[in-house]
Structure 1
Amino acid sequence: MYSTLASAQYITIDNSKTPTQLVQDLFTAGSCVTPTNVTVSGWDFGGGEKSYAWFNSNSSGFPLANGLLISTGKASSAVGPNTTLLSEGPANWPGDSDLEQAIGENNTVNATVVEFDFVATTNYVSFNYIFSSEQYLSNPNPNQCNYSDGFSFLLRRNNSVINQNLGVIPGTNIPVKVTTVRGSGTNCPSANTDYFDAFNGSNHPTNFNGQTKLMIAEADIVPGESYHVKLVIADQGNNLYDSGIFIGGNSFNNDFAMGDDRLIADGNPLCPGETLTVSPDYTVPGTLSYTWLKNDIPIPGYVNVNSPVYTITSAGIYTIVANLGTCTIRGYINIEYGPSPNDAVLIQCDDNSDGITIYNLNNVSQTITGGDSQMNIVGYFRNLSDAQNDQNAIANPQSYQNNQGNTVVAKVENNQFGCINYASISLQVASNTINSILPVRACDTVAPQDGLFPFDLNAISLQIQNNNTLPAGNSIQYFTDSQDAVTQNNQLSTPFTNTTANEQTIYARIATGPDCYAILPVTLIVISFPDLQDQAVGICDGESAILDAGSGYASYSWDTNPVQNTQTIAVTQAGNYTVTVTTAEGCTGTKTFIVAVSEMATILNIEVNSFSGTNNSVTVHVSGNGNYEFSLDNVNYQDSNVFTNVLPGEYQVFVRDKNGCDNPPPQTVYVLDYPRFFTPNGDGYNDTWKIKNLEINYPNAELLIFDRYGKLLKQFFPSDEGWNGTFNSYTLPSDDYWFTLSLNNGRIIKGHFALKR
């Protein structure tokens, strides 16, 4: 870290003050303490230049306005800019043994010493100082890291020989010197960096390479006792690289100890709403009255009062002034409060205008905490009493319904300082009027024509914003349900493809920060052409057909030559005819008619597969340019020319053109099969075993019947009456019998049947 200043102002040095004046000016005006036995020793460089002098900040930005400078070189050389390396003390200028003992160093030289006595009025003494040194090099050699100029503020009771060094790191006994307070970033190890100010660049109020921050030396003392003070600084090891102590003017205070400041930086501020009762921990005999000030302004009701006690309720620097008649004694305490949570207003939309809606209380967490990561909301409650007693916490703050009141309380904990505080949340219902937008229409350009389309929600948001005067910083989210828009569940992302074909309403939630400004329904319309499916059309040879694109379109365009612009056209030729239709919104779609010319079918052959049981079939072979269907009864038609599972019998085969063109005459076919049993009992049913219609297709076929042993029982032909179940006029018993059928085409069919009596 390097310190530079924008201006070229530097401190000034006054060599005119006497040693007594130098010390007296360290004490606050009106102080009840007067320094005595003042001595100052150092080095006289001639011409009025000494190693000590009075300094003034001269509006340079130096932290101390004025005070006493004691140095290991010429005091006037401390004036900035920092452009020369000061090593001005002669080698025969001695050091100081008390200093060496206090800071744990030896071989000191170039010591400047200020000493005086005072009689303590109170039980506390303090003063401000800054330690500066040329040994704070930004680029030191490693062997320079162990040299440590130092100083000490030695305090002892005059009847004692024990010195107490007040120039220490706060809260420790570590003396302040170059090696114990140093910033990081150099070859030398850093130490107690919180108390180091900066390595200085050239444009600095002083001519030193670096310095500590403003520090306070303080001690508890015994009122009425006489004390001796010795302020001493010296070089260590050699007379090179001078150092200096700047002691604040009017900062030597024998005043009241008021306890520790309560500061955020120190991690001990008061919690919001907390009070602190303060008073000096010592009462000076003869005190006439007390006056309290806040930020140097007298506090009404606490001017010239008898009691030194005051209760602090707000942040500020508090001063107590004790009037002893001839002088005054002061005490100071600086009070800061930890950050307070902010009350919040949460505005939510109401989807049915009944004043009851659902709030996500977490939406105002940033408002309540102010973005402070150390603040944590530990619960929401319906009232302050519940929050303070940590009872009846709201179980679902993300979906809180205001049917029990429009105010809730957030309990907030500051994790850094352990503070608990409360913030009020006012629940309000949005009542903003907002202009709707026209339905958002889109042409369905993506196959299939299903009425679905990916909508750009950002473009819709722009329409809403252009159609309304909305608050700055607004945001718009979308939902398929108005209740979801209230609770912010299931937010849609862009692009959004409608889930209800052709027309769907979604809901735009317009928000400003955590608040819902309005909910606006938005209608999405997809213009699609579900009826524009390609269509096959047949026409009979020599006739015409009407092609109809459908009604309701703004315009039509057929790809004929010339182009036709009517809903329907008449065609007589086979081919593909495409029409382009346009809606009133400018959406276009196309449909193609595949026109084919039909001619009457010619039955080439009918193939009958008989004697196959359940696998009997009829196959009709035709020729011709047409779209045909087939039937065996002129009632039930099928597209296939193959009939399966056909029962034995006589059938009429019909071939029909689907376009209604001429049809060939039907043809008769017979499907043959043998009976699986017969019952020759004279009742007139199944009395003989015979294959029906066999004589029609196979008049020369021959049938042979055998018993199970292969004995020939009967030989007959299709024209015969069949077999009656006898052999040589004897009645044969119930049993299975076998047959052999020899057809005209050389096919031989064998099987068996049952005779039942």
Structure 2
Amino acid sequence: MREYKILFSVLLLLILSNLASAQTITVDNSKTPTQLVQELITTGSCVQPTNISINGYDFGGGEKSFAWFDSNGSGFPLEKGLLISTGRASSAIGPNTSLLSEGPSSWPGDTDLERAINETNTINATVVEFDFVAVTNYVSFNYIFSSEQYLSNPGSNQCNYSDGFAFLLKENGSPSNQNLAVVPGTTIPVKVTTVRGSGTICPAANAQYFDAFNGSNHPTNFNGQTKVMNAEADIIPGRSYHIKMVIADQGNNLYDSAIFIGGNSFNNDYAMGDDRLIADGNPLCPGETLTVTPDYIVPGTLNYTWLKDGIPIPGYTNVSSPTYTINAAGVYTLVADIGTCTVRGYIQVEYAPITANNTSLSQCDINNDGIATFNLNDAVSVVTGGNSAMTVQGFYRTISEAQNQQNMITTPQAYQNTAGNTVVARVKNGFNCVAYATITLQVNSSVVLNPIPTVEVCDYDTDAQDGFNQFNLTNITQQITNNNTLPSGALIQYFASSADALNLTNPLPNPYSNTTAFQQNIYARVINTTACYEILQITLKVNSFSSNLQDENVPICSGNSIILDVGSGYSSYSWNTNPVETTQSITVLQSGNYSVTVTNSEGCSATKTYFVTTSGPPTITSIEATSFSGAANSITVYVTGSGSYEYSLNNVNYQSSAIFTGVYPGEYTVYVRDKNGCGMDTETAYILDYPRFFTPNGDGYNDTWKIKNLDIYYPNSQLYIFDRYGKLLKEISASGEGWNGTFNNTALPSDDYWFTLTLSNGRIIKGHFSMKR
């Protein structure tokens, strides 16, 4: 309610401070307590202070702890007023070049202050007191709290110290006080610790009410101060009140503080309601009115006068009604003439700006039926003027529907003008103010475009013929341009759907890869400011080969020929022969790489390469048999030849390896053949091993013990048989009949017997076998 006066004073005096920044406040010690208090009261006010007293400390020579101050053009935010301090009042004069810690420890504190702000041990108190009779139901005044305890570079142990002050108001006869020196909207007493800015190690608190940490070039000699603050209270008209303004040091007499109370600011005026300001978040909306009237009428009021920005409002001078309806921004003052005095009320009003610009959208009529599809969201930036504080709440078909928020258009991105060629946008700002903008929908007839043939490409981009490929849209643009007469500078864009083309959303990249295999439609939109063109459908087709044209390895037998046939069904063939052959197949006589390029009926070409390698029959040069090794018996075959060979011991099961392992004793035919059918060679091989037992029982089966085929590989070998005691029982030749289990024609018993075999290559093999009868 009084903020406009604070704001006006701050702005005015900040201007003055730029002109006289080197000046300081002045202090007048000559005024009496009565004069000091009376000059606090607003000029013409109906308030008459009585029982005035000011108690502080007399430093002698006319110097006291209280005095009248004047800003002296220095830029100090309050122009003049009463200064009360915990030290010498005149020491408050700037610049801020010394630390004020004045006043003796014998100078007492104030118990009322201690109770009000919950502190103890106060000293150096200065107290201003007076009574007044309330004329209205509201009282207020301005003040600044300054203190040496606002340190710009404090230590951590200095963050919790603060002198205390209070403005204690009570109805006379009442035992309780109300402290008006509180953080706005709270009951927290204003102190260094509760109103402090950031920038030091001490935590900030309610920083919006803190002015500054002062440098040396300051109008006062204090380290910092609050902004101009407003002490206010609701009171009962006709009642007598007592106010006590008190400040004191807390704990000791160090680091003085002061209260600057604005002269001519003590008001017992009308309460007119809260200011309606953008900064407070409660401005009026454009077109909105505010009817104001004081919530109390002073008996005996003669007339009322309303002023706007200090100028009387025509028709509202000396009227009988205190009510006024505000419809424009400004500072409004109500002056009530009581006869011997005046009572005033104040309110400041601001209007929140809102942007809602009318605009138009144009769209092409793709079939010339007068109906087009519009993206209403395209109008938002123009409607709101690009102001991010403005939002479009929705689009409606009529202003009535927009005002009542009925039947909002649910798909503004695809709106057809079937219900008319205008829509209304409902716009809201950050203060919930609403305005409306009309959007005119312009439907433009479309020029019919000549179509172009299906755009065909061959599937060259992957090994698999999957029907996907890239299309050069620049080439398509050239075809459209060649088929149509377009204005200079016309731009053609491409889209995956006609809806995207209509709304100019999601244009396709260039080059573009189709997303539907083999065939897909896309849509071209000619963008031009002088004409509207229909959306042109374009068919994309990917041609590919249905046959498999994978490269192939082909063998050829030495001295033979082979036919390479790529298959029928192609419109042309071209072989890399010399001279070039153009037939479906060719006959080749030697190895090499033969490539053929074929072209199908759709004009797509592909190349296949035959890797022809020569192959020939094998020749077995030797066979190595590993015998007398049990499960480790093996056959290794050695061959020569130019082919790729495989091996077998039975001409049925073939293997790529020339080594056979785990071969049982016996006679084998070794087969070696060319994998490509270019010939075969064979040879006999033997695996030797001794029997593990024999049964000489005369049944004609396994009656003798001998090593088969020993005479073939080792005809000169020597074989000796022993009993368990090492007695030689038989010497057998490689070609002999073997041993029948007798010694000196006497049948020996069933038992284990031992042998020693010495081969012609010097190898000695020893083992044992069983005889079972």
Pick one of 82, 91, 94 that aligns with 1:68.
82
1:282-321 mapped onto 2 (5 Å cutoff): 282-321=296-335
Matches within 5 A, 1:735-754: none
Residue 429 (1) aligns with residue 445 (2): no
Amino acid at match of 2:505: N
Name the counterpart of 2:374.
359
Deviation at residue 62 of structure 1 after TM alignment:
3.9
1:587: which partner in 2? none
Alignment check: 8 A CA contact 2:163 2:257 kept = yes
What is the CA deviation profile of residues 271-308 of structure 1, one whole-angstrom value per residue up to 9, with x for unaligned ones?
A: 55443322111111221211222332333322221111
Please give the TM-score of this superposition, normalised by the length of structure 1: 0.57
Shift of the alpha carbon at 1:331? Answer: 0.4
Q: 1:384 deviation in Å? A: 2.7
Q: 2:425 aligns with which of 387, 399, 410?
A: 410
Structure 2 counterpart of 1:391: 406
* Alpha-carbon distance change, 345 to 69 in structure 1, aligned in 2, over 3 angstroms: farther
CA contact (8 A) 1:409 1:425 kept: yes
Provide Cα deviations, 1:350-391, integer angstroms capped at 9, x if missing partner. Answer: 355776433323334455566777765443221232233332
CA distance in 2: counterparts of 1:164 and 1:426, whole angstroms: 58
Match of 2:191 in 1: 177
Residue matched to 2:161: 147
Q: What is the aligned partner in structure 2 of residue 230 from structure 1?
A: 244
Q: Which moved more, 1:403-412 or 1:146-155?
A: 403-412
Equivalent-residue separation in structure 2 for 1:387 and 1:152 (angstroms): 54
- Tell me the distance in 2 between the aligned counterparts of 1:97 and 1:19: 27
The amino acid that maps onto 2:262 is: G
What amino acid sits opposite 2:440 in the alignment?
Answer: L
Distance 1:284 1:189, change over 3 A: same
Q: CA deviation at 1:54?
A: 3.5
Deviations 1:408-462 (A, max 9, x none): 2334566x75x363422322439899xxxxx9xxxx99999x99988799xx9xx
TM alignment of 1:696-711, pairs within 5 A: none
Amino acid at match of 1:491: P
Match of 2:341 among 317, 321, 327: 327
Cα deviation 1:616-664 (Å, max 9, x = unaligned): xxxxxxxxxxxxxxxxxxxxxxxxxxxxxxxxxxxxxxxxxxxxxxxxx
The structural deviation recorded for 1:105 is 1.3
What letter is aligned with 2:442? Answer: V
Matches of 1:215 and 1:397, distance apart in 2:
51
Question: 1:422 and 1:39, CA in 2 relative to 1: closer, same or farther beyond 3 A?
Answer: same
Q: Tell me the equivalent position of 1:336.
A: 350
Partner of 1:118: 132
In the aligned structure 1, how far is the partner of 2:502 from the partner of 2:93? 68
The corresponding residue for 2:275 is: 261
Q: Is the 8 A contact 2:361 2:379 kept in 1?
A: no
Match of 2:363 among 335, 345, 349: 349
Alignment partner, residue 492 of structure 1: 508
Q: Secondary structure at the match of 1:403?
A: helix
Aligned-pair CA distance for 1:481: 6.9
2:25 to 2, 13, 20: 13
C-alpha distance in 2, partners of 1:430/1:111? 82
Deviations 1:92-148 (A, max 9, x none): 333222222222112222222222332322111101112121212233333323322
- SS of residue in 2 equivalent to 1:362: helix
Alpha-carbon offset, residue 60 of structure 1: 5.0
- Is the CA contact (8 Å cut-off) linking 1:407 and 1:424 kept in structure 2? no
Superposed displacement of residue 330, structure 1: 0.8
Question: Is the partner of 1:125 in helix, strand or coil?
Answer: strand
Partner of residue 121 from structure 2, selected from 95, 100, 107: 107
- Separation in 2 of the partners of 1:221 and 1:18? 33
Question: How far does the alpha carbon of each residue in 1:204-227 deviate from its partner, in whole angstroms, 9 at most, with x for none?
Answer: 444333322322111122223332
Residue 156 of structure 2 aligns with an amino acid whose one-letter code is P
Amino acid in structure 1 at the alignment position of 2:102: E
C-alpha change, 1:121 and 1:350, in structure 2 (3 Å) is same
1:725 is matched with none
Number of the residue aligned with 1:281: 295
Q: Distance in 2 between matches of 1:327 and 1:507?
A: 82
Q: Secondary structure at the match of 2:272?
A: coil
The change in CA–CA distance for 1:381 and 1:36 in structure 2 (over 3 A counts) is: same
Letter in 1 for 2:373: I
Residue 482 of structure 1 deviates from its aligned partner by 7.2
Please give the residue correspondences for 1:703-742 in structure 2 after superposition, counting only pairs within 5 Å.
Answer: none
Distance 1:494 1:39, change over 3 A: farther
Aligned to 2:649: none
Q: Aligned partners of 1:368, 1:122: CA distance in 2, in Å?
A: 48
Q: Give 1:218's aligned amino acid.
A: E
- For 2:690, the equivalent position in structure 1 comes to none
Q: CA deviation at 1:52?
A: 3.0
Deviates more, 1:252-261 or 1:91-100: 91-100
Q: Distance in 2 between matches of 1:451 and 1:179?
A: 74
Provide the rounded CA distance (Å) in 2 between the counterparts of 1:43 and 1:432.
93
Change (3 A) 1:278 1:495: farther
Partners of 1:199 and 1:210 within 8 A in 2 = yes
Aligned pair partner of 1:221 in 218, 228, 235: 235
User: Which deviates further from its counterpart, 232-241 or 326-335?
Assistant: 326-335
**Could you tell me whether the CA contact under 8 Å between 1:13 and 1:54 is conserved in 2?**
no
Given that residues 306 and 312 in structure 2 are in contact (C-alpha distance below 8 angstroms), is that contact kept between their aligned partners in structure 1? yes
* Correspondence for 2:99: 85
Could you tell which deviates more after superposition, 353-362 or 165-174? 353-362
The amino acid of 1:385's aligned partner reads S
The whole-number CA distance in structure 2 between the counterparts of 1:493 and 1:115 is: 83
Query: In 2, Cα distance between the equivalents of 1:368 and 1:376?
Result: 9
Change (3 A) 1:490 1:104: same
Deviation per CA, 1:45-84, whole angstroms, max 9, x where unpaired? 4555443333444555543333332222233443444443
Classify 1:160/1:395 alpha carbon distance in 2 versus 1 (closer, same or farther; 3 Å): closer
Alignment of 1:358-377 (within 5 A): 358-365=373-380, 377=392
- Runs of at least 5 residues in structure 2 that lack an aligned partner in the other structure: 1-13, 447-451, 453-457, 478-486, 541-606, 608-773
Cα drift, residue 321 of structure 1: 1.1
CA distance in 1, matches of 2:96, 2:428: 48
Aligned equivalents of 2:200 and 2:278: distance in 1? 30
Report the aligned-residue RMSD.
5.7
Cα distance in 2 for partners of 1:62, 1:236 equals 26
Map 1:583-732 → 2, pairs under 5 A: none
Distance in 1 between residues matched to 2:528 and 2:50, nearest whole Å: 73
Letter aligned with residue 390 of structure 1? Q
Counterparts in 2 of 1:201 and 1:497: CA distance versus 1, 3 Å: farther
Residues 447 and 104 of structure 1: CA distance in aligned 2, closer, same or farther (over 3 Å):
closer
**Residues 52 and 70 of structure 1 are in contact (CA less than 8 Å); yes or no, is this contact kept in structure 2?**
yes
Any conservation in 2 of the 1:485–1:519 contact (CA below 8 Å)? Answer: no
Mapped pair 1:247 → 2:273:
no
The percent identity for this pair of structures is 63
Q: Could you tell me the TM-score, scaled by structure 2's length? A: 0.56
CA contact (8 A) 2:168 2:243 kept: yes
Match of 1:158 among 149, 161, 172: 172
Q: Aligned AA for 1:400?
A: Y
Q: Report the CA distance shift for 1:69/1:147 in structure 2 as closer, same or farther (over 3 A).
A: same
- Judge conservation of contact 2:24–2:74 (CA < 8 Å) in 1: no
